[in-house]
Structure 1
Amino acid sequence: MTNPPSTGAGAPTGPGLVAELWYPEAPDLADPGLLEALRAVRPGAEVQDGSLSVPHPLDDPDLPPLVTVVVPGSPLGEDGKTLPDVSQTWDWAGAEAALAPCRASVLVTEVLAAGRSAAERVTSLGEVVAVLVARTSPRALHWARSQRVSDPATFGAGDVDGVINVRMFSDAHDEGALAMDSLGLHVFDLPDVQCHFRDREPGEIAELLFATAIYLFDTGDVIEDGNTISGTDGEGRYVCRREASLLDPARLVLDVDLGEPWAAGRRDRTS
């Protein structure tokens, strides 16, 4: 199996949601207009030592507010920091060209996310990213947890298109076979979805995996081992089984078995 590329030295690590906004020149995070725009969405937004802190009070008074933090990214070239890899960005042909002139980035991360739902976390981070997109005009958005680069012009608060990605790799040990998976649900302690197959249209399988990933994002970990899902056209019934991921990062996934003659790899269908 061909392993996915590294996100590059200097890329954010850890379990939290992260968006990285890229620019030819770094924006001024102390700009009063930016702070005013953030406070129009969340009145508690503050400037702190060159960064921005945006609290998101939610309904449960026993939990501290989730906080979105905006900080300058490491300079390009420092400690091996590189431009994002666009090899698993399949829906934006202009991603590489948009990143080419970029030399600076801003990181948007979450703090105190424990106890918050996946939707609350995505919405909170997205509110801040949307303001930054409108006020600072980044050239590209990099979602390190999902290995995706997205077009800021298409971004909206609450979008999961960057948070969840569908990747595709060739199988180095089985000519003609492909492995596809979703990446991003692991951030929410949910299983990603994968499929190892041949002789099916990759776009069809990508649509199936993304739709299943969105279903898990919306409803939680409700597809049990041995349950079936239908194709996006309503046809076909495909068995899902939990197993170790074929692709890095190592994690538990739901493997979608397309059955014969399309399934690739070995499967235990007796359990």
Structure 2
Amino acid sequence: MSNKVFQQNLDDKKGPQPGGPYLIQMLFKEPVAMPDKEKMTSTMEKHIGAAECFCYDSKMAGFAALDHIAEFKDGKCPVQLMVMKCDKFKGKGFDAFLKSQMWDCQEDRDRIFRECRYQVIATDMLAAALPTLERANLDTDFLDALAELYPTCEAFYFQNCGKLILAEDVRSHQIEGPDRFIRFGVNVRFFNIQGTEDMLIDTVGMSTLYLPDLQYHFHDMDPNWVVNHAYNLASYILANDNPIKDGETVDGVEDGRMSRNLQWTCQYEDALIQPPRAVLDIHMGTFASGGR
């Protein structure tokens, strides 16, 4: 746990835009060449289905995901997946606030930022027009392809949610279906509220799929129980295209497990901690803090 004190700053407009790009930074110790065009195309097809390489040069490679069609008012076209050339990585923009919420590789975080001097950036384009589950699966299929194409990658940083994950953990995951997006594209953050016994747990990353992030403001409960609840609820919201309406309830937590005996009320509010965004606030009954 970090002991640093951070200021709440909802004037900071930086952060994920709803439906924004799923932007992946791959970090490397040494420079890496763009993989061969044919190899890239075959690896993409292995993971995302039919693919067509529509640009390939020393600066970038672009692939049309032919099975994933984005439809707009004035036409339709395949989603595009872009991979940039290797560039220098200087660690700019990674402040103490962002680093404090990189729970997946706390022990390796400083080493990664110290040793990795190169990066390859990859992103989707036009994917916001896809149905929610289709985009969630395509983005993580794309991630699996990148993990295979770049074996010397040390770590992946997911800009939409602020997660830093060791490459070996990405390559070895056994998760199937849309829960892969929850694992890599959604970050559950934890904060102690200075001067109180209160804690705040929230998510970042759900808005990439036009779904609500979650927020819990509470006291007197093991925060690990709440983190698990947040991941489970985020998974439910993704799998069911967010069926939860203002004022409805969800199962709460008793003795570390979700329980129907305890019902927590859901309410749409503005986030308490940056980035500014709408969240689904979970009122934890007798454990809840703050006014609603």
Q: Does 1:233 align with 2:258?
A: yes
Q: Does 1:63 align with 2:79?
A: no
Deviation track 1:197-230 (CA, whole Å, cap 9, x = no partner) reads 1111010000111111111112123211110000
* Aligned counterpart, 1:8: none
Q: Which blocks of at least 5 consecutive residues in structure 2 are unaligned?
A: none
Match of 1:171 among 193, 207, 227: 193
Structure 1 residues 197 and 58: CA distance shift in structure 2, 3 A? same
Q: Which blocks of at least 5 consecutive residues in structure 1 are unaligned?
A: 6-10
Q: Does 1:18 align with 2:23?
A: yes
Equivalent residue letter for 2:124: E
User: Alignment identity in percent?
Assistant: 20
Match of 2:102 among 62, 69, 89: 89
* Aligned counterpart, 2:89: 76
Q: Does the 8 Å CA contact 1:243/1:253 hold for their aligned counterparts?
A: yes
* Aligned counterpart, 2:224: 203
Shift of 1:175: 1.5
Distance 1:38 1:4 in 2: 43
RMSD (CA atoms): 2.9
Distance 1:26 1:118 in 2: 35
Structure 1 residues 218 and 82: CA distance shift in structure 2, 3 A? same
Moved more, 235-244 or 81-90: 81-90
In proportion to residue count, which structure has more strand? Answer: 2
Secondary structure at 1:225's aligned position in 2?
Answer: coil
Shift of 1:33: 6.4
Distance 1:169 1:94 in 2: 19
Q: Does the 8 Å CA contact 1:86/1:95 hold for their aligned counterparts?
A: no
Equivalent residue letter for 2:282: V
Shift of 1:18: 1.0
Secondary structure at 1:233's aligned position in 2?
Answer: strand
Match of 1:192 among 213, 216, 222: 213
Shift of 1:241: 0.5
Q: Does the 8 Å CA contact 1:68/1:124 hold for their aligned counterparts?
A: no
Shift of 1:254: 0.7
Match of 1:126 among 133, 140, 151: 140
* Aligned counterpart, 1:264: 289
TM-score when scaled to structure 1?
0.84
* Aligned counterpart, 1:47: 56
In proportion to residue count, which structure has more helix? Answer: 2
* Aligned counterpart, 1:35: 40
Structure 1 residues 39 and 163: CA distance shift in structure 2, 3 A? closer
